[in-house]
Chain A
Amino acid sequence: MKQRLIIIGVLTVLAVGTLYALNISSDASGSQKNGFIRQFVSEVSLPVYAELAVPAQVIGICAIYGDTVFLQTRTPGLIYYTSDFKRLDTIRLQIPPIPKMQSLFFTEVQYPVVYIIGGNARKVIRGNVLKGAMDILDVNTPGSFSHPVFLSDHEMVVRCIDSVTYDALFYKVDLISGSAIREQGISEHLGDAGFIHDGMLGFDITNKQLAYVDYYSNNVTMLDESLHLLKKFNTIDTHSVSGMVVHKGKGSITNKLPPRMVNGINAISEGTLYVMSRLKGDNETDMETVIPIDRYNTSTGEYVGSFYLPFGKKQMPLDFIIKGNALYVLTSSKLIQLDVNNKLILTKPISYNH
């Protein structure tokens, strides 16, 4: 018996050693140096104003009007909202059955108007929660789309994957006429179904600028409302080439290698872009209990310092929005309001080199 226990122990050590060797040789945990220094504008954790438990089916923040936060769920037409961070109330639109709507949809709230945007269905359901009126609008893009961002009550910009060429391009959609105008010379025609330069699109209503931040490289593209290029700049890391390598098979496109995420979700407000970085700075040791948010001046592209969200990977944000002096963060279980007032002001820009 003793001999067998010893062998079991030795085999366990061997198995752990094999895994350790795999980890060292592959850097699967992402612990290598990334060639940049993160500079912090807040010495202390941002104070939490309020927080509220949310159901697991809440997946995004639709909008904030005054004190009211509207939340998107996994069910089209079901929207939660809270005005006091004490309880959640519900808006439920009885939407008609539309093929492919459930598979990919987004919710936009311009209270009292709610938009349910079907990326695969290429339809927008527009409902007025006060009047009870509802209509269905066509989106004439040449394929499925994602990342819809509203410029006004009838115009939105989307990232569309052409169903013939599989190119991912920006389109400006007019919901009244149904027309979709394609960008010119902004995105590369890669035929990759949007994998390589997948990212997140945001709109700064103050400066009327769109920002598209790549997930797998450090590229940031600034556009105006007519989809003209304003500026391109890089986030502080050194990953200028996309960490997404695709495999084009028969009728399918998928990632060939594990994609290395550089930047996560982001938000843009009053000329500042807030990017949730997925990379550790060379001057950092802990990425388990905190999440860094890097900030950029959208006019100049300059990095203007970072701050930490005071929670770690276990509460990875699904979405966040900056509104005035408040930062609203949605995790899989909570909606959290943090105070960013006067905590993030830099006296001079931080220089960094690529």
Chain B
Amino acid sequence: MQTRKIIVEIICFLFIVLWIPAAMSKLMNFETFRFQLGQSPYIQHVASFTAIAVPVVEIIIALLLVVGRTKLLGLYASFFLMTLFTGYIYAMLHFSYYAPCSCGGILKLFGLEESWNDHLYFNIVFTLLATVAILLWQKEGSKNAAPYYTLKTESYQ
């Protein structure tokens, strides 16, 4: 049980490390990010909204992952966003008439090249990690959950 909890915690930590810098990078280079979204055939018509929504949602998800009670919700949200990003990249690679060069520099943080293909593999891995964490997650205090702390019981005479 302890192993499951550790795995979930590690995955949550990885997502926090992913979402916070990704959001910060977008917000600090907001105009560039919005401009690059405007070059995307899929998003050009909703570029302004998406440019604000994506970093805000990323920060919210990171906060959900920090707090114990909302971790599962954060994992579901991470899974959804990662699935969305993965599908978007796949569509850009296979169906789009034009693919701008943009990925916000987040891959460099994980020591990868910044290409659409690398981004696709990276996102697939993180989508799977979110799935694993959701399936392994145990509610605090449930019968199968590992105790976070041990109560010392004393008997009073």
Contact = CB atoms under 8 A, between A and B. Distances in A.
Interface of A: 1, 4-5, 7-8, 11-12, 14-16, 18-19, 22-23, 25-30, 247, 255-261, 278
A256 B80 contact: no
Nearest to A4: B134
Contacts of B135: 1, 4-5
Contacts of B79: 8, 11
Q: Tell me the interface secondary structure of chain B in the complex.
A: helix
Nearest to A255: B39
B25 interface: no
Contacts of B41: 26-28, 258
Contact of B45 (A1, A5, A26, A29): A26
A12 B42 CA distance: 19
B39 A257 contact: yes
Contacts of A27: 41
Contacts of A23: 42, 91, 95
A146 to B, nearest CB: 20
Interface residues of B, number: 26
Given A8-B134, A26-B43, 20 more contacts: A11-B80, A11-B83, A14-B80, A15-B83, A19-B42, A19-B91, A22-B43, A28-B40, A28-B96, A28-B97, A29-B95, A29-B96, A255-B39, A256-B39, A257-B38, A257-B39, A257-B44, A258-B39, A258-B96, A260-B98
Query: Which 9 pairs show the lowest CB-CB distances between chains A and B?
Result: A28-B41, A15-B83, A258-B98, A29-B95, A258-B41, A28-B42, A15-B84, A11-B80, A30-B97
Contacts of A22: 42-43, 46, 88
A241 to B, nearest CB: 17
B77 to A, nearest CB: 9
A15 B87 contact: yes
